[in-house]
Structure formats: structure tokens, C-alpha cells
Structure 1
């Protein structure tokens, strides 16, 4: 397993759903639905190294892009599992070969625990703060999942919003 330090001040991106843009550091959306590297109930913040990768991840399989707001994140985080080069049996345990499993199908159709969730459980319990991994949606792109609960006071993670343009609450949307 490779462990990396991100930063100081690495930049990552995320397209935010406008209704939830007032909480850009929240991993609650991923906790509600689950994600590639987080079980339902586990908060995780998914970011991308480049804006195009963030866009492809946001739109998933849709040919049309739903409304979105691009946000830049500045971070310095120590202790991130670096799978960005993909699985290599010389550096990774066998279980990592299935990091790119079809987790949604496995969860919803096959009714089994996706192997990527088991890997994430191990990463979280070891105290690592996230995983860098290749984008499935944007070949050549790199994603980062941050496990909010493992961040410490020494880590820095913030959204770049110098003019305060992100909404402060949900008052713009009707109930």
C-alpha cells in the first residue's frame, strides 16, 4: 500500500448540487446513498484533481449535465492511501484488485457488500484520511475521497470562496 501526503495547498474540485452548495465540506450526501468507498452512514467527501474529471463524476452516465456549481478546494492532508496509479500486485494486497467493482450493482441488485467498501473500512480503521484513485468516468483523471471523521487538527480542508458567493443556507429553495 502506498501512503501519500497531499499539500501544502493542493487544489481539487467538486461540482455541487445547488440546493446543497451551502455545505460544501459535508459528506452527508455520500453517507445517505453510499459511494464507491463509503458505506451508507459513513460520511465521505468526493473530490477530483481536475475540473473536467469533477464534471464527468457529477454527471455520471447522463448525456445532459444537471445544474451545478463548481467549487475549488484547497487541502493539506497527511496519510492518504495513493491508488492513483491503479492496482499493481507488486504494491497492493490482492483485495485491492477489486477497488473498481460495480459497487452499485453489487449493492442494489446482487445484494452483497461491495469489495470497495471492505477496503474503505480497512483504510478508515487504520486511521488513513482518504484514498486517491483513478476516475472510472474520466480516463486519466484522479479522484480523492476524504473520510471526514479521520481528519485531525493538523489537516487543512477548505472550499475556496473568497467573495462569499456560496449560499449560506437553503432559503433560496422552497420546502
Structure 2
């Protein structure tokens, strides 16, 4: 069976904690384009979200587990697919022969040293196959099996690729008054 046949459509809510400087553009992915991430090389947009708000908190506080930094926590409504579930061991095995190589990959260190990042190759391959994103275990410090991320490479404000921030009161675009 082809990987694309194993794709699924995710419908529901996801969460993202991000630097407050991006509160004006919570759906942009611009920071990911500029800096890259575990699942996107620089130049490739990505919106990294979590299935639980607790996981979004862990992800946003990486590097500062005992010194909490300010963040904006947002909820997104999702109707997007096809997605691939990399939490499934059988699917992981089809994606790359040794999942442990990329699940716990020191991607940032490798990127800084100019070495190939396995997860970036996987992402590029899945995007070329037509996937809009993946479901993947969180690698944040303190993460458990309950901590799952949804990484979107293609998203819009409408289905079949909808990932929209919920901001009914337009709080994210307001100017803060001193």
C-alpha cells in the first residue's frame, strides 16, 4: 500500500504556543521559513501545533524548562488532509528504515554543522507525495506518549487545508495600550 493511501484528514482543534512578537500573524509560518525547524529546513514554511495545550506549552518553552518565557497560546480549528501519522510504528518504518535515527535526531546540531537532517529529507519527500502535514510524537523535554504534534506544511483558511486560529474577539490584532 502506498503511503498516500495511509493518509488521513484531521478535523478538530490543535494548539500552539509562540513568541508574542508573532501574535499579529499566528497563521503565517514566517518564523519557520526564516529559521527552519525539526520538520522544515529554512525556506520551507511550517506551522507546528500540538494536540494538547500542555504539549504546546512544553514545545514553546524548550530551552527554558525552569525559566518560563512569555508566550501567546492559541487554539486553531483544523480541517486538513492528507496528513500522515508518524506516531504509528508501521508507518514510521515505511517512511524511513530506522525510525530511531530521525525520531530523536539532534537536527539543530546537524544543521549547524552542515550535515544532512533526516527529518528534512522525510518532510520534502512527503510534501512531494502530496501530504499537507504529519502527526508526530513530541520531542520536547518532559514529553510523554500523550504529547503529540501536528506539523502543517500546507494550510489555508478553508478546507481541505484549513488551519485557522480561533480569535473571535480579535485579541491578536489589537494594539496594546500602555
- The answer, yes or no, to whether TM exceeds 0.5 is yes
Corresponding residue for 1:123? 126
Deviations 1:73-113 (A, max 9, x none): 0001121011123566665441644332110011113x212
Aligned to 2:50: 48
Aligned length, in residue pairs: 168
Cα–Cα, structure 1 residues 154 and 90, in superposed 2: closer, same or farther, change >3 Å?
closer
Counterpart of 1:164 in structure 2 is: 170
Q: What is the RMSD computed on CA atoms of the aligned residues?
A: 2.4
| Equivalent residue number for residue 7 of structure 2 | 3
Q: In the alignment, is residue 106 of structure 1 matched against residue 116 of structure 2?
A: no
Choose from 146, 152, 156 the match for 1:146.
152
Deviation at 1:69, TM superposition (A): 1.2
Q: Distance in 1 between matches of 2:135 and 2:156?
A: 15
- Tell me the SS of whatever aligns to 1:128: coil
> Where in structure 1 do 4 or more consecutive aligned residues deviate above 4 Å?
86-92, 149-153
TM-score for both structures, normalised by structure 1 = 0.85
Partners of 2:97 and 2:164 lie apart in 1 by: 34
Instruction: Write out per-residue CA displacement over residues 106-131 of structure 1, whole angstroms, 9 at most, x where no aligned residue.
Output: 1113x212000000010111111001
Gaps of 5+ in 2: none
- Ranges in structure 1 where 5+ consecutive residues have no aligned partner: none
Shift, 1:64, TM fit: 1.3
- Change in 2 beyond 3 A, CA 1:92/1:132: same
